[in-house]
Structure 1
């Protein structure tokens, strides 16, 4: 989930940079701030915070009979 948030933040930062806009708040919505927010989300995602790939379920990855048991 954090990776999706980071991608959205990076996309928003790219649009603001391409249109050369700060939405009237130059200290809040500047390119560097949004880039740092995106990098923070990616770092948290890679550190295992939140629900990453394979997170949450754990345990069995197969359904039904156990493979190789005849």
Structure 2
């Protein structure tokens, strides 16, 4: 799930750069790309994978 979010953020950063859209200082393509890299790093670290509950059966 987090990899899809990072792909969407990368696509938004690409659109901002390719269309030469002027945005405010906090919503630049570099900042969106850094958010995408952060989400991708969280995905690779296994944050979005969820927890598995182990049951004790005998």
TM over 0.5: yes
The structure richer in helix per residue is 2
Could you list the runs of 4 or more consecutive aligned residues of structure 1 that deviate by over 6 angstroms after TM superposition? none
Equivalents in 2 of 1:40, 1:58: separation in Å?
A: 27
CA RMSD of aligned residues (A): 1.9
Unaligned runs of 5+ in 2: none
Q: Which residue of 2 aligns with 1:20?
A: 20
Q: Which has the larger radius of gyration?
A: 1
Equivalents in 2 of 1:9, 1:58: separation in Å?
A: 32
TM-score (ref. length: structure 1): 0.66
Distance apart, 1:28 and its partner CA: 2.1
Specify the SS of the correspondent of 2:47.
coil
Counterpart pick for 2:41 among 29, 40, 43: 43
TM-score (ref. length: structure 2): 0.78
Distance apart, 1:26 and its partner CA: 2.2
Q: Which residue of 1 aligns with 2:9?
A: 9
How many residue pairs match? The answer is 54
